[in-house]
Amino acid sequence: MSFHFTAPQPDREPSFSFTGPEDVEEQLQAIADMAHEILRLVAEVRRQISN
């Protein structure tokens, strides 16, 4: 499975698409994993800024 992210444009929302098996549960888990990693990185940056 691969992910494709398009660059954000001022006039439209960022988008992404999936290629590979149409396994919705697997795609949702991948999104959840990405979200958790993003939140972890945000928390780390906030910690560094506040110090």
* Backbone torsion region of residue 20, taken as left when φ is above 0, otherwise alpha when ψ lies between -120 and 50, otherwise beta: left
Whole-model pTM over 0.75: no
Per the listing, tokens 């001022």 go with 10
Residue 12 has what pLDDT?
62
For residues 1 and 24, give the distance between their C-alpha atoms in angstroms, rounded to a whole number: 12
Other beta carbons within 10 angstroms of residue 18's beta carbon come to 16
Alpha-helical (H) ranges within the chain are: 24-50
**26-46 mean pLDDT:** 92
CB 3 within 8 A of CB 30: yes
